[in-house]
Amino acid sequence: MATSAYSFKNVQATLDGQTVIGFFDQGEVISVARNADKGSMLIGADGSSLFSVSTDEAARITIRLKHTSPTHRMLIEKLKRQQARGGSARGFPLDIIDTSSGEGGNAEQCFIQSAPAASNGNEATVREWVLVTGKWADLVPYGAE
């Protein structure tokens, strides 16, 4: 069995065509959580079963950045435009890939669900952005070595 390695240096993300830089390195840096399970099982009174495949492709993407990150600034600008336009806000694309494993995914239309709280103290604090999309497409990881 071959030994493999992981490094966040192999993770690349682009947001609206710009490379995401200035990640806050404390635990999870980027996380993608699906909106719903992939499906649900229904068991009848007679014991028969039926599996319903979910059509929900939505996801919630959390990105943790430093306050000095150019991506943090870009998201602040996008939030201002999103709030100014109200119901006519435009989504933006997001792509994430671990180049060593091929894991990741993408969305063509992301929106900002929540912005980070502003906090200042003796140490730098994370700026946590939560994006949402109605359609997240997972990439198929590379095969085993």
Residue 99: pLDDT above 80? yes
**For the segment 20-50, what is each residue's pLDDT rounded down to a tens digit?**
999 998 778 999 999 999 999 999 999 999 9
Strand pairing partners for 11?
98
Query: Angle CA(126)–CA(132)–CA(133) in degrees, nearest 5?
Result: 145
In percent, how much of the chain has pLDDT > 90? 72
Output the six-digit token pair for 61.
Answer: 């993407």
Q: Please tell me the distance from the alpha carbon of residue 94 to that of residue 115, in angstroms, as a whole number.
A: 17
Residue 144 pLDDT grade (very low, low, confident, very high; cuts 50, 70, 90): low
Q: Where are the domains of the chain?
A: 9-36+56-138
